[in-house]
Amino acid sequence: MEQFFDDYTLRTVTLGVAILGVVSGGLGVFAVLRRQSLLGDAVSHAALPGIGLAFILTGSKAALVLMVGAGLAGWLATSVVLLVTVNTRVKYDSALGLVLSVFFGAGLVLLTFIQRSPDADQAGLDSFLFGQAASLVLEDVMTMTILGGLSLVILIVFWKEFKLLIFDPEYAHSLVLPVRRLDFGLTTLLVIAIVIGLQTVGVVLMSAMIIAPAAAARQWTDNLGTMTVVSMIMGALSGVGGVFLSASTSDLPTGPIIVIFASGIVFISIFFAPHRGIAWEQVRRRIQNRRLKSEAVLLDLFRLAKTHETLEYPHMEAALRVIHPRTGTLRRQLRGLEEKGLVKMSDNGAWALSQSGIKVCQELMNQHTP
Amino acid sequence: MEKAVEVRDLTVAYRDNPVLWDVDLDVSSGTLMAIVGPNGAGKTTLIKAILGLVKPAAGQIRVLGKPYQEVASSVGYVPQRGSVDWDFPTSVIDIVLMGLYGRLGWIRRPRRKEHEEAMIALEKVGMVDFAHRQISQLSGGQQQRVFLARALVQNAHLYLMDEPFQGVDATTEHAIIEILRTLRSSGTTVLVVHHDLQTVSSYFDEVLLLNVRKIASGPVSDVFTDTNLRLTYGGRIAIIRGTM
């Protein structure tokens, strides 16, 4: 910890990934809810040739220059995807895959070309492949903060319009909201969120920073606003966690560690989140099962008693065991029912329904035969 | 009589195949009209064309005497409930409030007044108790009523409803009929894409029989005949029309 506050580079890097996590977490929510997660993947891969071209044209490695190049290429990629889907019979996912690989391939070619050119100060461009958090300087972080902050402000200003756009675009259109311009705006914000993370996480893994925090956040809440905030926090946590882990262990690449951190959060959320989590679902199912089983025992007592003159007629456990062969379970259920006052044990060890047990049975019978 | 909807020579095509072909339609104000026809007849497309959601290849549409853009706030749209993802993280009242986004304009958020209006709309569809329920917990009929409330909150002069009776429970069906009748008594025009031929004559004043081309339109008693139905559905139809 002490080392952290002393280490200027580490502080800069931490700040940078935290900002990146907040922005990609926030905008990722909208991408994930719109089922555009893969678009993020296409945009980030497609950014690579943009970075290469920006460097070739300007000779500069300033964050802003490369981000503009990446952003334009990412934008071009989404437009091509749209064009292909609208004008050909190629489906959306195939178009994404196609565009992603063509752009990424072109980007690799450009990077190789740059690396071979003798006079260029090309070192570091290939770090955009898998990201290199350590290369972040304060200037980069400032650029990320301004761009990211701006896109979050726009997101908040047009919050209700974006919400309606992703929930029900046709209805938005019927209210004469400018759906196409909103769509353009939201996609641009997504492109910005991706572009500011490329230097840190890399084009290959950046889409995980868009998808993972949002997917995890969805597990914990049913409110769009809360989901966005939770996703921002999870994005920042994965970033900062990843930086610390890779800083404390030498030679671990930061970008992949951040993504693994984010995946860990997704994993935990999918299993343990209340209501939507898998573990929660299992517990609920078990409770439900137990209730159904003891209801069955109660109803069997009811059916047996019906053949006698009184519904409170007691029966020996052996009579029930014919229907419920597992003795241990049966006795436990009878005891459970006894605790609830639905059955009682008579002196000779036989079980009988109580008055409230009879009432419950009659209600259950009514429910099952509407 | 004033026309709520006027459609002239409307043709809509998808990849050179006409979905609607040369359709003319006049709907007078205050009419409850059913749009009836087989699958793929262009019923939904007609509604979407009126709303400006699909571009016609030819023809003119006027809504409340004007182009749709100018009167959009007076038109309420109830899409098919299957058209959205009901696992979206939001509450019932939030969906209803969306009906007011057009009126609210940019940046302004719904406030207390808007919430009260939304609650009144939920009251009309019998869903007040569900206002803060997560929408993924709703049954199909409840989803339909929420969509209806979202349109009702607009206080529109014209409503376009796409299969509101599709797969809903009896409670919802009754709630919708009640609302349709209230709307008619206040002079509101309602166009409903409808599938249940048995109930056309008891629920609606007028009917449009559609199968890519318009077969007939007008008062149910004049138009809803065996001959016209056979023309609409082709020879295969064997329906017993209810006389309720």
ipTM metric:
0.91
A104's enclosing H/E stretch is helix A92-116
CB < 8 Å from A in window 74-93 of B = 75, 77, 79, 83-85, 88-91
Q: Which tens digits make up the pLDDT trace of B132-170?
A: 999 999 999 999 999 999 999 999 999 999 999 988 888
Tens digit of pLDDT for each residue in A57-96?
A: 988 888 889 899 999 999 999 999 989 988 888 888 899 9
Give, for A343, the enclosing helix (H) or strand (E). strand A343-345
Question: B241 pLDDT exceeds 60?
Answer: no
Question: Stretch B40-46: mean pLDDT, rounded?
Answer: 90
Predicted confidence band of residue A357 (pLDDT cuts 50, 70, 90): confident
Q: Which of A158, A177, A218 sits opposite B89 (nearest CB)?
A: A218
Residue A261 has pLDDT above 60, yes or no: yes
- The strand pair at B206-211 and B213-219 is best described as antiparallel
Give the number of beta-carbon pairs within 8 Å between A and B: 72
Other Cβ atoms closer than 10 A to A132? 19
pLDDT for A145-176, tens place per residue?
999 999 999 999 999 999 999 999 999 999 99
Amino acid at the residue A229 = V
DSSP-assigned letter for residue A344: E
Distance CA A62, CA B124 (A): 60
pLDDT over threshold 60, residue B193:
yes
Mean pLDDT value across residues A323-341: 78
Q: What is the pLDDT of residue B243?
A: 42
Phi and psi torsions of A39, nearest 5°: -60, -40
> What Cα–Cα distance (Å) separates residue A270 from each residue in A28, A222, B136, B169?
17, 14, 18, 34
User: What percentage of chain B has pLDDT greater than the value 90?
Assistant: 52
**Ordered strands of the B58-63 beta sheet:** B17-28, B3-14, B58-63
| First-last CA distance in chain B | 29
Q: Closest partner residue to A221 among B89, B107, B109, by Cβ?
A: B89
C-alpha–C-alpha distance, residues A46 and A44, integer Å: 5
Sequence-distant (6+) residues with CB within 8 A of A257 are A242, A243, A245, A246
Q: How far apart are CA A23 and CA A270, in angstroms?
A: 22
Residues of A in contact with B95 (CB under 8 A): 167
Confidence at B238, pLDDT banded by 50, 70, 90 = low
Which site among A171, A218, A221, A231 would you substitute to test the B interface, given the most B Cβ atoms closer than 10 Å to its Cβ?
A171
- The predicted-structure confidence for B195-208, as pLDDT tens digits, reads as follows 888 888 889 999 99
Phi-psi region of A243 (alpha: psi -120 to 50; beta: other; left: phi over 0): alpha
The H-or-E segment that residue A353 falls in is strand A351-353
- Identify the bridge partners of residue B193 per DSSP, sorted by sequence position: B35, B162
State the smallest CA–CA distance between residue B238 and chain A in angstroms: 33
Task: Tell me the mean pLDDT in the region A183-211.
Answer: 91
Instruction: Tell me the C-alpha distance between A313 and A343, whole Å.
Output: 11
Q: Quote the pLDDT of residue B172.
A: 87
CA distance B133 to B131: 6
Distance CA B72, CA B58 (A): 21
Q: Which of A157, A167, A168 sits opposite B107 (nearest CB)?
A: A157
Parallel/antiparallel/unpaired status of strands A343-345 and B158-162: unpaired
Say whether pLDDT at A369 is over 60. no
Give the minimum alpha-carbon distance from B133 to chain A in angstroms, rounded to a whole number.
Answer: 10
Note the pLDDT of residue B189: 94
- What is the average per-residue pLDDT within B112-130? 93
The pLDDT > 70 percentage for chain A reads 94
What's the rounded mean pLDDT across residues B183-198?
Answer: 91
Query: For residue B213, is pLDDT > 50?
Result: yes
Evaluate whether B60 touches B100 at the Cβ level (below 8 Å).
no
Q: Grade residue A181 by pLDDT with cuts at 50, 70 and 90.
A: very high
In this prediction, residue A228 carries a pLDDT of 97
Single-letter code of the amino acid located at B26: D
What span, in angstroms and rounded, lies between the C-alpha atoms of B96 and B114?
10
In this predicted model, what pLDDT tens digit does every residue of A279-315 receive, in sequence order?
888 888 888 888 888 888 888 888 888 888 788 888 8
Beta strands in chain B (DSSP E): 3-14, 17-28, 32-36, 58-63, 75-78, 158-162, 189-193, 206-211, 213-219
| Identity of the highest mean pLDDT range in A115-129, A350-364, B114-128 | B114-128
Give the separation between CA B68 and CA A184, rounded to whole angstroms. Answer: 23
pLDDT at residue A199, rounded to an integer: 86
User: What is the reported pLDDT for B242?
Assistant: 45
Question: What is the average per-residue pLDDT within A201-215?
Answer: 91
Nearest alpha carbon to residue A37 among A268, A206, A244 = A206
> Looking at chain A from residue 179 to 238, which residues have their Cβ under 8 Å from any Cβ of chain B?
218, 221-224, 227
The residue-averaged pLDDT of A353-357 equals 84
Please enumerate, as own/partner, the contacts of B166-175 that have beta carbons within 8 Å and a separation of 24 or more. Answer: B166/B80, B166/B81, B166/B195, B167/B140, B168/B140, B168/B141, B168/B144, B169/B139, B169/B140, B169/B141, B171/B126, B171/B141, B172/B141, B172/B142, B172/B144, B172/B145, B173/B141, B175/B125, B175/B126, B175/B145, B175/B148
User: What mean pLDDT comes out for the span B64-90?
Assistant: 92
Q: Which residues contact B218 (CB under 8 A, 6 or more apart)?
A: B206, B207
What local confidence, expressed as pLDDT, does residue B192 receive? 94
How would DSSP label each residue in B23-77? EEEEEETT-EEEEE--TTSSHHHHHHHHTTSS--SEEEEEETTB-HHHHGGGEEE
**Residues in Cβ contact with B201 at an 8 Å cutoff, skipping those fewer than 6 apart:** B220, B221, B224, B241, B242, B243, B244
Mean per-residue pLDDT of chain B: 89
Residue range B196-224: mean pLDDT, rounded: 89
pLDDT at A1: 47
Q: How many CB atoms lie within 10 A of CB B189?
A: 25
Q: Using 50, 70 and 90 to split pLDDT, how confident is the model at A108?
A: very high
**Exposed (0-12), middle (13-18) or buried (19+): which is A325, by Cβ within 10 Å?**
exposed
A161 CB within 8 Å of a chain B CB: yes
pLDDT value for B91:
95
Write out the two tokens for A173: 């259109």
Which of B83, B85, B89 is opposite residue A224, by nearest beta carbon? Answer: B89
